[in-house]
Structure 1
Amino acid sequence: MAIQKHIVFDVVGTCVSYEAFFDCIEQTIGARLKDEGIKPQLFAFAWMEAAEREFAYLSISERYTTFMDIFKALFYRMLWMAGIAEPHSFATDDERDAILASYGRLETRPGIGDAMHKLRQAGFTVWCLTTGDTARVRGYFSRSGIDMPEENFVSCDTAGVAKPALPAYRAVLEKFGDDDEKWFAAAHMWDVSAAKKAGFKGAYCTIYEKEPCLEVFGGEMDVIADSLVDLADQVIAASP
């Protein structure tokens, strides 16, 4: 019997870029941020990273809360942390909500459709594991004409545990056979290195973070690639 091959992709940041979100911040409050000496993209990054941290911390303390609820709640706090003395005078709820809505309009990264097609042609079943809700995340692919079956999405919301806690990855591993080939692909080193510890082979793409910082995350990746298509090619080449 042939070995079953699986590859699980992180979605936001890996398969889709943050550009629509960055652009909306620029258009909505960008001029005001710049007047305060704050680069809009840096504010966006700080806001996302703080939300990821609180998402993980709440999960660790057994108070799992959906990512978007946390993201929304942190907006004014992050303006304060950025040096805005009166955040509620600086921006409005309507502006916050418009920016949050842009997170639902993120666009797929160049090459992700070709990468997934190549992997399927090579016998891989393609999955997605996301911190987002399945309907929103699946929409990223459908708007780009990329086929991702609903049954191949797994959300942390279902398991009630956030990445990078190892049970989040094990919930996906449980879907596969012990002898199956199992890869995890991400553009976040914290994500793919945790998946590797949980039992996946790791494929890291530098398209987002640029620097893998292996001295922090430890070990070696099975694949490191600068593009998603190259990542797919390397995974296929490393597959039995």
Structure 2
Amino acid sequence: MAKHVVFDIVGTCVSFDAYYEKIERVMGPKLKQHSITAKHFGFTWQTVAELEFTFLSVAGSYLPYKDVMRGLFYRTLWMSGIADPQAFATDEEREACIEGYASLQLRPDCGACFQKLRDAGFTVWCFTTGDIQRVKGYFDRGGVDVPLDNVVSCDGLGVAKPALAAYESVWTRLGRDDVKWFAAAHMWDVAAATKVGFRGAWSAVLEKEPCLDVFRDAKMEVVAGSLLEMADSIISKSQG
């Protein structure tokens, strides 16, 4: 019986720090004049984009996340308290901030986490809503070997996480009787994956708090701190 761990990428294996730092370099001083930090604006922008991206997908009007993010830039500035977003920022600044996503870096213990699981007999997969080549680039730059065939995107399916069909596409790709875990730092991500049969593992590296009173129906077998602690728990719970 084979063993698999499917990882979410951005937010879990990859930190958002470089994106926030790029916003700080491009627009930080201007934002601070309005008592807005680069990190808070960046988080608000990406969260709003994720919301609309998901709603579009559910409504059958799928649009790639990057395009959604681009289209919501000025609206997010306005919702953040900027009275005249078009006068406050430029398209060039918007594109520079979006480019911050291309420079995201792996979390320091990601490679060790993958290696620990592989040494224990697991095949590591990476599942994303983004572009496969961009995601593969995160690992290449971080010096972590991830075969291209093990990077899976739902971008071509016309459906986005957390739609169950997205997780089912990966679930059915793996062996029927295999051990299959889904690991992420987004609680909503793991909770959805468990609904199609994955065993769930969550790391606190992004959200800090699991908020299990919100995700009440999540079948979470592992709630851990670091990625390495999560790997240890997955290995331990898969024995026997």
TM-score (norm 2): 0.97
Matched, 1:152 2:150: yes
**Alignment-mate amino acid for residue 188 of structure 1:** H
Give yes or no for contact 2:20–2:39 (8 Å, CA) kept in 1: yes
RMSD of the alignment, in Å? 0.8
Matched, 1:60 2:58: yes
SS of equivalent residue, structure 1 residue 6: strand
| C-alpha distance in structure 1 between counterparts of 2:98 and 2:47, whole Å | 15
**Alignment-mate amino acid for residue 85 of structure 2:** P
SS of equivalent residue, structure 1 residue 47: helix
**Alignment-mate amino acid for residue 110 of structure 1:** P
Matched, 1:184 2:182: yes
Deviation at 1:158, TM superposition (A): 2.0
**Residue in 1 that maps onto 2:139:** 141
Deviation at 1:183, TM superposition (A): 0.3
Deviations 1:86-145 (A, max 9, x none): 101101111111111110000000211000011111111110110110011110000011
Deviation at 1:173, TM superposition (A): 0.3
| C-alpha distance in structure 1 between counterparts of 2:143 and 2:76, whole Å | 35
Deviation at 1:216, TM superposition (A): 0.4
**Residue in 1 that maps onto 2:127:** 129
* 4+ aligned runs moved over 2 Å, structure 1: none
**Residue in 1 that maps onto 2:226:** 227
Give yes or no for contact 1:11–1:128 (8 Å, CA) kept in 2: yes
Give yes or no for contact 1:214–1:220 (8 Å, CA) kept in 2: no
Matched, 1:7 2:5: yes
| C-alpha distance in structure 1 between counterparts of 2:30 and 2:129, whole Å | 31
Matched, 1:216 2:214: yes
**Residue in 1 that maps onto 2:88:** 90
Deviation at 1:220, TM superposition (A): 4.6
Give yes or no for contact 1:59–1:65 (8 Å, CA) kept in 2: yes
Deviation at 1:43, TM superposition (A): 0.8
**Alignment-mate amino acid for residue 231 of structure 1:** M
Deviations 1:34-60 (A, max 9, x none): 111112211111101111111111110
**Residue in 2 that maps onto 1:200:** 198
| C-alpha distance in structure 2 between counterparts of 1:160 and 1:153, whole Å | 17
SS of equivalent residue, structure 1 residue 214: coil
| 2:98 paired residue among 97, 100, 104 | 100
**Alignment-mate amino acid for residue 115 of structure 1:** C
| 1:51 paired residue among 49, 52, 55 | 49
The percent of aligned pairs where both chains have the same amino acid is: 54
**Alignment-mate amino acid for residue 51 of structure 1:** A
**Alignment-mate amino acid for residue 16 of structure 1:** V
What number of residue pairs does the alignment pair up?
Answer: 238
| C-alpha distance in structure 1 between counterparts of 2:152 and 2:62, whole Å | 16
| C-alpha distance in structure 2 between counterparts of 1:55 and 1:120, whole Å | 33
| 1:118 paired residue among 116, 125, 132 | 116
| C-alpha distance in structure 2 between counterparts of 1:72 and 1:150, whole Å | 27
SS of equivalent residue, structure 1 residue 114: helix
| C-alpha distance in structure 2 between counterparts of 1:13 and 1:133, whole Å | 15
Matched, 1:164 2:156: no
TM-score (norm 1): 0.97
Gaps of 5+ in 2: none
